[in-house]
Chain A
Amino acid sequence: MCHGGFSTLFYKEVLRFWKVASQTVAAPVLTALLYLLIFSHVLEGHVKVHGVIYTAFLIPGLVMMSVLQNAFANSSSSLIQSKVTGNIVFVLLPPISYLEFFLAYVLASVVRGLVVGAGVLLATFWFAPLTFAEPVWILVFALLGGAILGSLGVIAGIWADKFDQLAAFQNFLIMPLTFLSGVFYSVNSLPPFWQQVSHWNPVFYMIDGFRHGFFGVSDASPWLSLAVVGTCLALLTTFSLNLLKRGYKLRA
């Protein structure tokens, strides 16, 4: 088995969501599948994006959205639950550094994101001819996107004192950012103003870069997306580590 603070905390965080996989994995896969059925039914045949039929275009968007939302949900809900119930002391008492703490929560979030993402891909790729043009980008953006939302989850979970504060964070920040990022459409089809707005949304680059891995075409260059996403991760990591180092809301 594992020893060491980091590997045990990582293992425990993975075990925690795996034990309730019907809620943490199966439910989000089903949700994504429902989106696919509804949207593709309504729009199939009417729209082609980047020369790809709509359903095929939609699938990577849904996969990435699931990766991101579940990565966020994992770290944020685990931390808020531990804080509210008080069992966070079990991780605060042992000799675990703030860096180990951060990495364990973020990596477990990435694992949850990837597991759900893989589930969504498996459940949906029957519905449309999907290609894997440049698979390295698929992996890179899934990992980086998961890590970014995992870090955001750490920040939200530490900041929130109550479940409704976390829900507000989710409803007023995470949801708008993911929905207004081109999951369901190409931002190039938007009016110029909203195109501009979308280009300020980091989630747009995560999804666009991820999609590039499938079709080899995208709204923005994958290298630009990589730069934006990499910068975001660096900033959020620095910010989270600073919170943890100061013991913000965890060590009074």
Chain B
Amino acid sequence: MMSAAIRIKQVSKCFGSTQALDRVDLEVQQGEFFGLLGPNGAGKTTLISALAGLVRPDAGSLCVMGHDVQGDYRAARRHLGVVPQELVFDPFFTVRESLKIQSGYFGIGDNDDWIDEILENLGLTSKANANMRMLSGGMKRRVLVAQALVHRPPVIVLDEPTAGVDVELRQTLWAFIRRLNEAGHTIVLTTHYLEEAENLCTRIAMLKAGRVVALDTTANLLRRFSVHALRLRTAGAMPLELARDGAENGGWWSFPFDGFDQVEPLLARLRAAGCRIDDLEIGKPDLEEVFVRVMQGPPQGQVN
């Protein structure tokens, strides 16, 4: 049987009195594009650090491609590439030196062809011989991504890679990561841009206070927690019998519906009630709404 790319079992971690992770169970299959979402302090970085061996869990176990991150750490780390959340760099070296050194740490001597390819794909070729200190924040971020890829890890974890990054880099980065995913690499990412996660990830876990509070395919999450809605603005006040079915927010009325066959009857009722519509749009389900609902939900238990 093919081993899971990532298997996390009952992992807990406390920092003093802060419960950063609380019996987290999670499995990511090979080839998935997986999103790990949650508000600040939810435990995303701690979970990634535990996977990378930077944090030792108080309980539970973690495996990368079937290799335990403590017991079989060499194999686990060879199969894992992590882009850390903090923008770190070594000021003593150039971009190329940094990448060569990082390759050496993984036991790869002659890696120039792959390094050139990474540089090219991340738009770093012209900066290859620049000292790390001289690079802008966005360029440093690219190098951080490159450093995580030098050993061609089958599992790639990116911790908020697009935080504070310009549009161009985001597009370059996602195009490259998508290609890697298509080539078979498993991708796990955390991001605060929910639109990004919605577009990229096929499955999503949501973390809140160290617990997994939602875990499903993106499509299912959207179906379960978010709906289509007819949103409109009327000239006069909303008649009472219609106001019951909707909700008002900033002058806009929102009428949720499950199927498009419900739109016409709704419009007919509005017309019959003598409403004049000034503006109208159809709201689609989005991850933002899912996120807000999941985070507002009751904190107990894990949802599966």
A interface list, Cβ under 8 A from B: 1-5, 7-9, 11-12, 15-16, 19-20, 82, 85-87, 89-97, 247, 251-252
Contact = CB atoms under 8 A, between A and B. Distances in A.
A85 B84 CA distance: 13
A13 B252 CA distance: 63
A95 B74 contact: yes
Nearest to B106: A94
Contacts of A11: 101, 104
A126 to B, nearest CB: 34
A8 B101 contact: yes
A95 B105 CA distance: 7
Contacts, number: 88
A89 B84 contact: yes
Interface string B56-83: 1000000000000000011101101010
A73 B290 CA distance: 53
Contact of B54 (A4, A95, A251): A251
5 contacts: A1-B104, A2-B109, A8-B105, A89-B84, A90-B90
Given A251-B54, A251-B55, A95 B109 contact: no
Given A90-B90, A90-B147, A247-B56, A9 B105 contact: yes
Contacts of A16: 92
B107 interface: yes
B53 interface: yes
B88 A251 contact: no
A94 B92 contact: no
Interface centre among B49, B74, B75, B104 (most CB of A within 10 A): B104
Given A5-B107, A15-B97, A95-B78, 16 more contacts: A1-B100, A8-B105, A11-B101, A12-B104, A15-B93, A19-B92, A86-B88, A87-B88, A90-B98, A90-B147, A92-B53, A93-B53, A93-B54, A95-B106, A95-B107, A251-B56
Contact of A90 (B75, B105, B110): B105
B134 interface: no
A89 B45 CA distance: 13
Contacts of A1: 100, 104, 109-110
Contacts of A7: 104
Contacts of A15: 92-93, 97
Nearest to A250: B54
B104 A252 contact: no
Nearest to B91: A85
Nearest to B148: A93
> 10 tightest CB-CB pairs across the interface, nearest first?
A8-B104, A94-B105, A3-B109, A95-B74, A86-B88, A95-B77, A87-B88, A87-B90, A252-B55, A86-B86
Contact of A3 (B53, B56, B74, B108): B108
